[in-house]
Structure 1
């Protein structure tokens, strides 16, 4: 377990009157490193962000779906703008809002189910483009003692997102039946807004799981006084 933060990290003090300004400056200094990742802070490479597997299962509303996405690669994350970056030490709260002009995702997929009463079956490669995504993340922590020091653990993660457009293409739908596959891809793209709302809980959970994987490791490795001294 590391015992000190990397020297390139600008450390801010929780009681400083300019805390939010300091945190924003610290983040901007780290941004160039996000592309290749910051292993010292348990931050994976962002271009692309590689996620080994994402499972999405839903059997409520207009969607009955069991799907697995493997070797997920996401590009475009580093080209974001920061809308809000704020810390509230008294509440152990961290708020970050980002806008991504475009995210491109590709993966191998396996899917089976029904969408709006239409059967959906496929096993192949998928490409998804998300346009103008704004994502707001709120983390709320709790202090605890470990080895005589105060550490943080995340109790609550809230993620909200909005997007302007989606384009999706699934290869090899319906055992390679091109006519059926083309019609289904057309249907998915024409109805993306309604479908996006149906799968919002699944997408939110997937985002939370990806985020927690890094944040939990970071907070378990460095004490609160290391990360944000008084």
Structure 2
């Protein structure tokens, strides 16, 4: 199991989840494959509330499969996503929630159990369940199709050349304003007002030059490492 770098990852002096390392984690999988018949990776990765894999997530999961993972299950999106067969491996991009009290809508309150059969080849069956009151139960027959139908449709869509990239580009266009508002230091109330006015405040705060500078700080590995180091130090001191 491994996780993207969020607040709960382990450090030298902090307990937490095993952080994914793009250089070391694939080699770890390869070493496990040399000793095991099957390797199943639970990856806490993916964009919250987004039903498709991002281009980066798909690249990471496929690398895990290339290194020997037979099944990769992503569990960070808080919604049921899609799956694909890649070479001999199965990759599940979003297993959904198990039990969260935030909302009772389908997006937030459904998930998939994975029934894994280990024979000559690993085989996965998908069993939908729903949150009911303060617990969960297997989905009723009438709900199975409404959950599994879109799941299988999305799984077909992500196989189309360019779909993952174009869909994520659309998502970024629709939701990028939130991050710009966060970088600007806007509180929740101002962020919601800015969203209501379609990014009016952030568009005027960030010129093209300022936005390009932020992109460089986020995208450049050395710049990003410096920013993260500063934020980590600040968080640990508070």
Task: Please report the TM-score for the alignment, with normalisation by the length of structure 1.
Answer: 0.27
Structure richer in strand, relative to its length: 1
Structure richer in helix, relative to its length: 2
The higher relative CO (CA closer than 8 Å, separation ≥ 6) is in 1
